[in-house]
Amino acid sequence: MADPRTARPAGAPADPGPAPRAGGARTGPRRPRLSARTRRRWLPWTLLAPALAVIATLLLAPLARVVWLSVQDYGLDNVVSGRSDYIGLDNYADLLTDRYLWTVALPNTAVFALVAVAGTVAFGTLVALLLNTLARPARTAVLGCILIAWAMPAVSGTYVWIWIFDVDDGPVRHVLQAVGAVGPGGFNWFAERSAFYAIAALNVIHHGFPFVAVTVLAGLLTVPRELNEAALLDGAGAWQRFRHVTVPILRPVFAVVTVLSTIWDFKVFAQVYLMPGGSGGNRDVLNLGVWSYVRSFANQSYGLGSAVAVLLTLMLLAITVGYVRTLFRDEELR
Amino acid sequence: MLVSALSQGPSSGADALLPTSITLDNFRFVLAEAGFLRYLANSLAVAGLTVAGSGVLALLAAVAVARFRFRLRTTVLVMVLIVQMVPLEALVIPLFLQVRDLQLLNSLLGLAAVYIALALPFAVWMLRGFAAAVPAEVEEAAYIDGCSWGRMFWSVLLPLVAPGLVATSVFSFITAWNEFILALTFMNDSDQYTVAVGLRQFFGQYTTDWGSVMAASTVITLPVMVFFLLVQRGLVAGLTRGAVR
């Protein structure tokens, strides 16, 4: 409680709190102290108010509204009239008994996330280890390239991957045809679910590994050099040093990076939506996010789309709880 | 090798990989005829508003949670953290209805307002680390010298938190620049397209003009790259500091 801020003179010009200006800084000892304390109570809330207001109106209120929409039969006529049509949990009943959810949308979402997260974390860690061994100028250069991959908009990145695997003109086709692996007809990578998602995974890994690399690198820089030297003296190989020295120390970093990637990869949208067939043309390749969007905006059934969105949110919330727990385990917030 | 192949190939090498000899025609077409300049201006406006708005709001909020102990502080922090996880897919339907009710569809201002909200949680979270890193002694010294809280904020806290503000702006900028779903849903009028949505125009249903797509992709990536390179030092410092916590 010994806080320097209590010593602060009252009546600051920028003071947003209810401190009486008339009290003055050096008059009675009683009133300024009281007002300073009142102000100390209100100042943080005044600072927080604008941000909280924006978050509440543009993030929390819509979240509540999507839950409300999910228990309605909300179609185009409702959009026009603004009237609501409460139908209870019917949307959820429809959703959960739909074979499509269990055989297509959910596997597409979860299996893809699993693969993409594993790939992102593994590749990002490898790059971080590489960066850690580089000298400063080389490290800065590689880091620059990595940041570009990160900064590249998902939309243009996705188009590049589509082009690479393009049926008619893509480099992959040219290479495969040159070595005789595909016939003159080429091969449509996007028609088939697993090939479609393999490309999506490449795209997402390419876009997501820089975050892992930079974060893990930051962690690596905190590993005391003596530990590695000691292990080296004991005859530990590179893998053993990584496994028994680096991993235990970086466990919290890996946890955060994995959970964050999981959350991001569960809600991949543009990378799927923009690929051929991904915006609804090929029902085999939709994931939960795209399905919700197509349901709402292409099929004009906002209620069912909302139910899908709520389902996705609940899954992410479960993962988030794990994330918050991980964060809170390392003191710091208290 | 894989690193450079992956990170450089798609962004800068795309044109070099194209089989036809490369001229600047694609760029000329994209910028002059296809109206891409308009999309760039739209995106710059939206991203600029987002950076400014989220920067100011996040700075105030971050200082509040980092420099003060108050009741519900942890609750606020956890809420900010959780809000960050909400998938955009879940918000797009209600936000569409809300923005439509406010008659802000097709408005850059409406889009920017939503982006500010989206960028805020991460910005608060990141700036909080910077504000907390300022030693209490520095703040105390300012009070002893007779500084008011407001003065202290401007002349002591702000300069020390500036590197964090740089890193945060980059992320807010990228959030707005790259965002796709909301821009796709809100902007029906092609005059109001942002670059992420405008790029779709070159991507035909049956034939795709790859030259234009790649030229436009490069044009889109350039501003972000320039921005990144300008602030790189502050950014990496910010990232590493934020990451290690």
In Å, how far is A30's CA from the nearest CA of chain B?
19
**Contact yes or no for B84/B202 (Cβ under 8 A):** no
- Residue A186: which residues within 8 A CB-CB, separation 6 or more? A167, A168, A173, A177
Report CB contact under 8 Å: A54, B86: no
**At residue A167, does pLDDT exceed 80?**
no
Q: For B70-87, write each residue's pLDDT tens digit.
A: 888 888 888 888 888 888
- Is the pLDDT at B12 greater than 70, yes or no? no
Read off the pLDDT of residues B22-33 as tens digits, 9 standing for 90 and up. Answer: 566 777 777 766
Cβ atoms A91, A306 nearer than 8 A: yes
DSSP designation for B155: I
Q: What pTM was estimated for this model as a whole? A: 0.81
CA dist., res. A268 & res. A286, Å (int):
11
Query: Would the CB atoms of A153 and B196 count as touching at under 8 Å?
Result: yes
Going by C-beta distance under 8 Å and a sequence separation of 6 or more, which residues neighbour residue B142?
B151, B152, B155, B156
* Cα separation, A15 vs B131, whole angstroms: 20
Q: Report how far residue B96's alpha carbon sits from residue A6's, in angstroms, rounded to the nearest whole number.
A: 47
Q: Report residue A86: phi and psi, to 5°.
A: -70, 125
Tell me the pLDDT tens digit for each residue of A52-100.
999 999 999 999 999 999 998 888 888 777 777 888 899 999 999 999 9
Q: Give the pLDDT band of residue A40 (cuts 50, 70, 90).
A: confident
Nearest to A159 among B83, B86, B213 (CB): B213
- Among the residue ranges A75-89, A168-182, A202-216, the one predicted with the least confidence is A168-182
Characterize A20-31 residue by residue with b for buried, 16 or more Cβ atoms within 10 angstroms of its Cβ, and e for exposed.
eeebeeeeeeee
What is the rounded CA–CA span in Å between residue A253 and residue B161? Answer: 24
Chain B residue with CA closest to A328: the answer is B78
State mean pLDDT over A243-258: 86
Is the distance from CB of B156 to CB of B142 less than 8 angstroms? yes
pLDDT beyond 80 at B119: yes
Spatial neighbors of B147 by CB under 8 A, at least 6 apart, are B155, B156
The reported pLDDT for the residue numbered B126 is 85
Residue type, A325: R
Please report the pLDDT score of residue B114 as a whole number: 95
Model confidence pLDDT, tens digit, residues B190-201: 888 998 888 887
| CB A207, CB A152: distance < 8 Å | yes
Q: Could you read off the pLDDT of A91-142 as tens digits, one per residue?
A: 999 999 999 999 999 999 999 999 999 999 999 999 999 998 888 888 888 8
What pLDDT shows up at residue A1?
37
Collapse the DSSP code of A39 into the 3-class scheme (helix H, G, I; strand E, B; otherwise coil) and give the result. helix
Spatial neighbors of B43 by CB under 8 A, at least 6 apart, are: B176, B177, B194, B195, B196
- A51, A148, A214: residue with CB nearest B11: A148
Q: B57: which chain A residues are within 8 Å (Cβ-Cβ)?
A: 50-51, 54
* Of residues B93, B117, B220, nearest to A59 (C-beta): B117
Per-residue model confidence (pLDDT) at position B59? 95
Domain boundaries, chain A: 89-225+252-332
Mutation pick from A42, A159, A267, A323 vs chain B, by most beta carbons of B within 10 Å, is A159
Residue A233 Cα, gap to closest chain B Cα (Å)? 28
Region A89-225+252-332: CATH code: 1.10.3720.10
Of all residues in chain A, what percent carry a pLDDT higher than 70?
86
Who has greater pLDDT, B46 or B234? Answer: B46
